[in-house]
Structure 1
């Protein structure tokens, strides 16, 4: 089906641009009218009419929708639904109020999809890069149960919860990453700009160089002779590493590796357990089946090794086993999660048990993040002192020997 680029006027008089698929220009015009737009120009092809319109479309495509914007969008959507405003009016209001260009366009496209008879779930599903699998399935559960505002309330909690956990972990990792980068830059500057200034002086002095100076000079000579090869090798390694991570097997090996790393492994495991328990509890309360929940968790847990275990649990559930036995044969789920799932399934309070697990591991993650910072900081300080101390010895030890010779 051919693609048509268009410029049109919205109901508020605002100029909108975009592309749509239609059988003909007349069909594209009818689609625009059904979306509530007044066509100004329609051109077959992916490039909108005029350079400015093309650039405006590119700006929309390059715009990212942040988590905070999704949270605000969902809160506004829920509030207006509770006030009794129709879906079409909600999307129109959100389109007018949104400051994010991509989210503004998405609201307009979703409005058009609803007008054409699609469900709200189908309208959200047309934008998987903005609305996650979890988000879309929560909307589906709320739409089917007729309790969409309540489901959206739970969804807001989940998004805010995950955003907070990720922000805490990123905040804890930000300092060590910054220090490592500074260490690398300091090493490069000292080796490239400082050591060369002293090489000639030390050579003319004809003194026996101490081992730190010999190592530093050899490293400088190596990078001077083979620096370009090293750079090409590093770039090739990074490129290959990224390509491997994009494969299913590569991602699985990488995620398993991080779960085994001391200090970091327990932190990531606890964060995954908190996410699992919170999502499972809320999805079950929203009326989603256990098999569907496991599918959703497999795509949202954020770790391929744990996601693989969800697939294995799902297969055992299809064989007629209960929920608790398959969890006992997993490798990465903690004893607390397994026992709470077992107790919750037997007592019929699985949702309450999992919510308790989520709250517990939220506290554990917060404590682990604080412990991580406390454990890493001394190591980073020693690393920084070691680099600076090594180059200080490499420079000042031979200078001290030269001073003694002069005396």
Structure 2
């Protein structure tokens, strides 16, 4: 049996593409009829493939035509806040859907957007688009503004002829990221405030100094001495607090360094809950884009190249790209599923069955939904764990403060207790 690529029409008139194991072209046609499809074209193994889709004509795209990502990891975040970037893509998608040319859309966005980074990029991208450059290529020139996965998603939209859909999906992903970021800022903000507060407060909790000052002087002198002790403790802690705050700022910058980002992605995948969440989200996005590309008749190699860059975790994206490099002439997606090392055995089995039955696009779509559901469940669990962790940390810090205060109080009372119990 050989692997045949086919183009068929379903009962609603929708054009579908796929591959099927069969003895000859007649068997492919017969199987398609049994599935409720009408064959339009069957391509024999090794034959030159031509795309005859009626809805959106396009040309085969080689990997060399892929938009350059500048070597940046796929998970490096934009210098533009996610909510501003989501609003930007949503507006561009609306303009494109209304029939306005891309170059005109970016010309309009250059006047309406408030973010200085986006405003500058829009002007240059408008010129590039007007000169005939693809949108994905124009975006790739600004990796600090447009993350790799957004550029790859637009590239996939260009391959399928659905740039407006790709822009809307990017906006939806960024809106979800903006929502998650707001929750993250709350937790991370409380953590930073707690650490800085502890740096200043804990040295001041040795109340034995204050009690000794209060009971060894007159009222006015006691207040002055207690204030002096407090100020001295504050200024002793001030350099440490400055170092801690500077460390937080440095960490925020350091996370954008490509090498550090790669290491963090690798560590994140090995965390109990958040590692699975990252994996499920990355796989859901990859499979969704791969499904849309494959259903549009894009060759498996090109479809894999574009979809692998949409995974949000760099380690997963690297493994997906590695599968393509190790099998440059692969015709079966199931073979690349197996060599990638990121899919479960059930996923590989479903892909293989989908290819043999000619229902691979449907199989990819189902797998994408499965991973999306898993990610949604883990997201809720992750938030619950994060909230519990914050509450527990606050309780522990309160306990430490109470212990320090009681220790200081006991140090103050020890001389009186030892004196009253002496001979």
TM-score range, shorter chain: 0.5 to 0.7
1:268 to 278, 282, 286: 278
Checking the alignment, whether the CA contact within 8 Å between 2:156 and 2:306 is kept in structure 1 is no
Which structure 1 residue ranges, 5 or more long, are not aligned?
1-61, 206-220
Offset at residue 269 of structure 1 (A): 1.6
> Which runs of 5 or more structure 2 residues have no equivalent in the other structure?
1-78, 216-231
Structure 2 counterpart of 1:159:
170
The 1:152/1:321 distance shift into structure 2, 3 A limit, reads closer
- Paired with 1:64 and 1:244, the residues of 2 have a C-alpha distance of 15
Normalised by the length of structure 1, the TM-score is 0.62
Q: What CA deviation, in whole Å up to 9, does each residue of 1:149-194 have, x standing for no partner?
A: xx123203421342244345435544442442243134223213x2
Residue 371 (structure 2) aligns with? 361
Instruction: Say if 2:139 and 2:146, in contact at 8 Å, map to a contact too.
Output: yes
Displacement, 1:91?
Answer: 4.5
Instruction: Report the Cα distance in structure 1 between the residues aligned to 2:255 and 2:311, rounded to whole angstroms.
Output: 20
Which shows bigger deviation, 356-365 or 174-183? 174-183
The aligned counterpart of 1:382 is: 392
Query: In 2 relative to 1, CA 257–71 (structure 1 residues): closer, same or farther, beyond 3 Å?
Result: same
C-alpha displacement of 1:112: 3.4
Partner of 2:86: 68
Deviation track 1:170-220 (CA, whole Å, cap 9, x = no partner) reads 35544442442243134223213x225534647999xxxxxxxxxxxxxxx
Q: What's the CA shift for 1:104?
A: 4.5
Q: Which has the higher contact order (CA 8 A, sep 6+)?
A: 2
Find the counterpart in structure 2 of residue 187 from structure 1.
Answer: 198
Distance 2:155 2:389 in 1: 48
Deviates more, 1:238-247 or 1:355-364: 238-247
Aligned to 1:112: 127
* 1:3 match: none
Question: Which range moves more in the overlay, 166-175 or 376-385?
Answer: 166-175
Shift of 1:396: 2.8
RMSD: 4.3
The 1:341/1:175 distance shift into structure 2, 3 A limit, reads: farther
Change (3 A) 1:133 1:187: closer
Does the 8 A contact of 1:168 with 1:369 survive in 2?
no
C-alpha distance in 1 between matches for 2:94 and 2:168: 14
The answer for the alignment partner of 1:394 in structure 2 is: 404
Q: Equivalences for 1:171-250 in 2 at 5 Å? A: 171=182, 173-192=184-203, 194-199=204-209, 201=211, 246=257, 248=259, 250=260
